[in-house]
Amino acid sequence: MTPWAVRHRQPGSRRRPCLVWLHGLLGSGDDWLPVLPYFAGWPQVTLDLPGHGDSAALPPQPFAALSTALSQTLRALDIGEYIAIGYSLGGRIALYHACHGQDPFLRGVFVEGAHPGLTEATARRQRLRHDTAWARRFAGEPLTTVLADWYRQPVFSDLTPSQRAEVIRLRAGNRGASVAAMLIAGSLGRQPDLLAPLRRLPLPFGYLCGAQDAKFSALAEQAGLPWWPVAAAGHNAHRGNPRAFAERLHSLLAPFE
């Protein structure tokens, strides 16, 4: 498998595991730039997922293959012990990787706004139909038109008009067909329910969620996940309030200091 592209990499104390940052759909490793300075003493790497950024030409794959590709990418970079940190789609990949990846170098997993999986087959089929409809639009319509509707979904309701316009501007450089393919491959409808294995996970695990993200706050609460709110932030908490996000994450990383 072709390793994923590295967007940013910085050295840090060799006594600490490397922080591996995984972005969400439509993003890139650049999405983490607002929070990287808060972890200056840590080794860090941000990766571009298949279909995104400098990995746009890589074909999307099922979750098991994505997990394997993540391990192979880190081995190619000569990264030993590491902690996976992911947002949304990147968070779901990180959760799958922690539960099923069997990577002996993984030391912890911390995610933001990432769904642990749907329990009912009917719900998974409905979600796959939903994502397929969006994928058709991403593949066949002008990207800015689709993005204008995408960021009006309820989960992004905390965005002001100016914030929405800025996010659309940032995401407009994506390839619509590549985003569509990744949306289908990484659909929540294709993701196994990870809640049970997460509850048995022997690694440190934490779930961060914007305090204004009603959907995912309720999801984490109902699922009984160990979760921490990020003040004054919605679904994309690390973008909405980088400092508060970093403070929360620092507290969870304290055992690794």
Residue 74 lies in a domain: yes
CATH number at residue 46: 3.40.50.1820
Report in angstroms the alpha-carbon separations of 119 from 154, 199, 221, 230: 22, 15, 16, 27
pTM value surpassing 0.95: yes
Residue 81 lies in a domain: yes
pLDDT in tens, 136-178: 999 999 999 999 999 999 999 989 999 999 999 999 999 999 9
Residue 135 lies in a domain: no
Place 1 in a pLDDT band, splitting at 50, 70 and 90: low
Give residue 184's pLDDT.
97
Contact 236, 210 (CB under 8 A): yes
Residue 68 lies in a domain: yes
Structural domains of the chain, count: 1
Domain containing residue 98: 6-118+191-256
d(CA 201, CA 53): 31
Residue 222 lies in a domain: yes
Residue 138 lies in a domain: no
Q: What percent of the chain has pLDDT over 70?
A: 99
Give residue 83's pLDDT.
98
d(CA 38, CA 60): 31
d(CA 2, CA 215): 35
Q: What percent of the chain has pLDDT over 90?
A: 93
d(CA 46, CA 115): 21
- For the packed helices 161-171 and 143-150, what is the interaxial angle rounded to 10 degrees? 140
Residue 88 lies in a domain: yes
d(CA 236, CA 96): 20
Cβ-based neighbours of 78, under 8 Å, separated by 6 or more:
none
Radius of gyration of the chain measured on its C-alpha atoms: 17
DSSP state string for 205-228: EEEEEETT-HHHHHHHHHHT--EE
Residue 179 lies in a domain: no
